[in-house]
Structure 1
Amino acid sequence: MATIVIVGIGTRGDVVPYTALGSALAAGGDRVTIATHASLRSHVDEAGLGFADLPVEFGADRPLSSARFARLLAGRWLDIGEAVLAAARDADLLLLSPMGWLGYHVAQATGAASMGVFLQPLEPTAAFPPPLVTTRPLGAAGNRAAARAFRVLGQLPFARANAEFRRRLGLPPLGPAAMFRQADEQRWPVLHGFSSAVVPVPADWPEHRPVTGYWWPRGGRGLSPELRRFLDDGEPPVFVGFGSLAAPRLRDVVEQTVAGLGRRVIVQAGAAGLTAGHRDVLTIGDEPHHLLFPRTSVVVHHGGAGTTAAALRAGVPSVVVPFTADQPFWARRVAALGAGPTPIPLRRATPRRLRDAIAVADSHRTGAEAVSRQLATEDGIATAVAEIRRRVLPVQ
């Protein structure tokens, strides 16, 4: 039995897949703790895993841009590092989300093994530019160079705190560029928790950073009685929700879109506090997407990795309104797969455009269902667990 700590920094959609992976590891006899934000503890508790608090929350008062995300983290970086260290003192293995690099230093100090568990395709490649930067192709050399530069530049806000943290750990200095160079030279493993049916594996990705398939939640609570009654009471509704993100005017756009849609609608309040007080419209709180989406006709969402995956799994067309970070990348993949119409960036979203896109989305059901059939053949969690045991865990 191994003691494993998963460092999950991000929003709900970032962390829920880690609870699914952690549950599978725990079912195999390992002791698993997820170090994440207090606001997400219920998901960890529901999975029956240990919880360790990371002392930072992102809030929902303004859009969570990549720059704001970095600033919020940088202000608490040393505190987060100490929390990761406390959680991982007896760990055999640390599994690190893309922003969980503090665990890389902790593992070096404690002698634990470590590896990445990424939900986005962040490995440099000639095939596409870095998803957190742009969706505009930069050419083969440009795509690779931009990804390498971005991962170093992305660490600069934390460089001073990282240096201090390594000093506290008794480790020699290791700047951002040197850290990534060391990880590459040591063939530091990374598992990618998405499907090659959605993002084809680039030919230049190294063998030690495989794509496993999605890490779907298993079990957990069902749909609320009120939601079940609404779903049972008529045609499959349109779902509208933007998860952990909020933005100016979003509530008004959603309200006006729903008012003129003429269809049954489910609006998920989310961080933006969305609501729509109309006939045949139900406003809901947190509900499991993997149970809800198969019973909808169209899913209108922000293009987060987890929500996009859940819609594709359900075989339901998506209308994607990307805000920031990797969302434009996933939005473009949905359209490329024929699982939804051309995405509408948040800055261009109007009630009329959204209503038109929802009407067009119905014609993309065949493409969405084709992707769903491919995803149904994969078991990303079993593949990931096998990779973890093969690559980094000692023989039990």
Structure 2
Amino acid sequence: MTQIVIITLGTRGDVVPYASLGAALAATGDRVRIATHESLRRHVLEAGLDFAALPVDLPADEPLTASRLARLLAARWLDLGQAIAAAARDADLLLLAPMGWLGYHVAEATGAASMGAFLQPLEPTTAFPPPLVTTRSLGGWANLHTARAFRLLGQAPFARPAAEFRRRLGLPPLTPAAMFRRMDRDRWPVLYGFSSHVVPAPADWPAHRPMTGYWWPRPGAGLSPRLRDFLDAGEPPVFLGFGSMVAPGVPDVVEEALARLGPRRIVVQRGAADLSTTRADILVVGDEPHAELFPRVSVVVHHAGAGTTAAALRAGVPAVTVPFTADQPFWAHRVTDLRAGPAPVPLRRLSAGRLAEAIEAADAYRPGAARVADRLAAEDGLAAAVEQVRRLGRSVQ
């Protein structure tokens, strides 16, 4: 029996897929613990896994951009390192999300194996630029070297506390550049938890860093009775929700856009932006499971987070994407390229008119969305990931 510890930081979407992966590993006999924020404890425990708290929680009162997340975490990097070391005290294998690099040093100190487990295509490649930088190709050479440079730049806020953490662990100095060189030289494995039907694997994508397919959320308690009754009462509605994304003026734009749509059944998820409406024919809901809700709507309007994008594609429903930050523009453009939705409406260009027009145009993309859903239905990303953990994990023992 192997003790596996998963290290992940971020929002709910950065934890739920790992809880699914952890549950799949536990079902084959492993012991699994997830170390993450206290506010996300519930998702870990509901999956039947052990939980270890990390000493930082993330505010939900404004957009959590990549740079802001880095600043928040860097200020507590040493504290996070100590908590990760404690959580991994008995680990045989550490699975590390992109912000879980401290676990790499812990594994080196303890002799445990480690591997990455990523939800975004962070692999340097000539095929496309790094998703957190731009959605426009820079050309093959520039795509590859920009991704390598950005990978290093992403470590800059953590370099000094990471060096101190290694000193406390009794390890020799290791710069971020040297760490990535060693990872590449040692063929350090990484699992990518998305589908090659959504992000086609480039020719230069390394075999020891496979795309396994999605790690779908585990079935939950189902839809709330109020929402279920609304869905049962008429035609499939439009869904609109931006999850944990917040930006000034968005609620007013949304309300005006909904008014332009006229009499149409709509479900609005309140979310962190506190979206609402005074119309009696629109249902405003809180947190509802996308896996149960999206197959019952006609259009999904969302912020193009990795998990929400995946859920809409799985449901075979056309999507209108309003990317706010980070990797969201990348996923929004993947939806468009797959003919599963119209062109994105970026936050900086968001207006009531553009949003309403995109929703009205979305139905034409139903065939493309259905094609993607059929392909995703044929995959079992969790089974593939478990198999790869067994195979690749042995290579770093």
TM range (shorter): over 0.9
Q: Give the residue type in structure 2 aligned to 1:281.
A: I
The 2-side partners of 1:162 and 1:75 are apart by 11
Q: Which residue of 2 aligns with 1:82?
A: 82
Give CA deviations for 1:50-90 in whole Å, capped at 9, x if unaligned: 11111222212222111111111111111111111110000
Please give the secondary structure, in 1, of the residue aligned with 2:324: coil
CA separation in 2, counterparts of 1:79 and 1:255?
A: 43
Q: SS of the residue aligned with 1:95?
A: strand
CA distance in 2, matches of 1:266, 1:46: 26
CA contact (8 A) 1:313 1:375 kept: yes
> How far apart in 1 are the matches of 2:259 and 2:6?
43
Structure 2 residue 116 is matched with structure 1 residue 116: yes
User: Which residue identity does 1:379 align to in structure 2?
Assistant: D
Bigger shift: residues 255-264 or 172-181: 255-264
What is aligned with 1:146? Answer: 146
1:37 is matched with which residue?
Answer: 37
Q: Does 1:334 align with 2:335?
A: yes
Residue identity matched to 1:311:
A
- Equivalent pair of 1:47/1:220 in contact (CA under 8 Å): no
TM-score for both structures, normalised by structure 2: 0.98
Provide the residue aligned with 1:372 in structure 2. Answer: 373
Gaps (5+ residues) in structure 1?
A: none
* Offset at residue 393 of structure 1 (A): 4.7
CA drift of 1:376 comes to 0.3
Q: Which residue of 1 aligns with 2:383?
A: 382
Paired residue type of 1:305: A
Whole-Å Cα distance in 2 between the matches of residues 234 and 359 of structure 1? 19
CA distance in 2, matches of 1:55, 1:234: 46
Q: 1:96-115 maps to which residues of 2 (within 5 A)?
A: 96-115=96-115
Matched residue, 1:61: 61
- Show the counterpart of 2:165: 165
C-alpha separation in 1, matches of 2:347 and 2:115: 34
* 2:93 is aligned with 1:93: yes
Helix, strand or coil for the counterpart of 2:207? Answer: coil
Instruction: Write the distance in 1 (CA, Å) between the matches of 2:216 and 2:179.
Output: 31
The answer to whether residue 357 in structure 2 is matched with residue 356 in structure 1 is yes
The aligned runs of 1:262-277 (5 Å cut-off) are: 262=262, 263-277=264-278
Corresponding position of 2:296: 295
Aligned 1:207-226 pairs, distance under 5 A: 207-226=207-226
Cα distance, 1:146 vs structure 2: 0.3
Confirm whether residue 391 of structure 1 aligns to residue 368 of structure 2.
no
CA deviations on 1:90-118 (whole Å, 9 max, x unpaired) are: 01111010111011011101111110000
Q: Which runs of 4+ in 1 moved over 3 A?
A: none
Distance (Å, rounded) in 2 between the aligned partners of 1:50 and 1:287: 24
CA distance in 2, matches of 1:284, 1:56: 28
Shift of 1:130: 0.3
Tell me the SS of whatever aligns to 1:71: helix
**How far 1:277 sits from its partner (Å)?**
2.6
Q: What is the distance in 2 between the residues matched to 1:194 and 1:118? A: 9
> Which range is displaced more, 255-264 or 118-127?
255-264
Helix, strand or coil at the partner of 2:211: coil
**Matched residue pairs, number?**
394
User: What is the identity, as a one-letter code, of the residue corresponding to 1:303?
Assistant: A
1-structure distance, mates of 2:281, 2:19: 34
Q: Secondary structure at the match of 2:51?
A: strand
- Measure the CA separation in 2 of the matches of 1:249 and 1:312: 28
The answer as to 2:200 corresponding to 1:197 is: no
Equivalent-residue separation in structure 2 for 1:251 and 1:55 (angstroms):
32
- Cα distance, 1:278 vs. partner? 1.2
Deviations 1:154-201 (A, max 9, x none): 000000010011011111111111111111101000010000000000
2-structure distance, mates of 1:71, 1:201: 32
Q: Which moved more, 1:263-272 or 1:381-390?
A: 263-272
In structure 2, the residue matched to 1:261 is 261
Could you tell me which runs of 5 or more consecutive residues in structure 2 were left unpaired when the two chains were aligned: none
**How big is the shift at 1:218?**
2.4
**Does the aligned pair in 2 maintain the 1:60–1:272 contact within 8 Å?**
no
Determine helix, strand or coil for the equivalent of 2:267: strand
* Matched letter for residue 376 of structure 2: L
**Contact preservation (8 Å) 1:93, 1:393:** no
Contact persistence 1:194–1:213 (CA under 8 A)? yes
Q: After TM superposition, give the deviation of residue 260 of structure 1 in Å.
A: 2.6
Question: Which amino acid letter does the alignment assign opposite residue 138 of structure 2?
Answer: L
The residue aligned with 1:280 is: 281
Residue number in structure 1 paired with 2:233 = 233
RMSD across aligned C-alpha pairs, in angstroms?
Answer: 1.0
SS of equivalent residue, structure 1 residue 36? strand
Once the two structures are TM-superposed, the CA of residue 29 in structure 1 deviates from its matched residue by 1.1
CA distance in 2, matches of 1:283, 1:52: 34
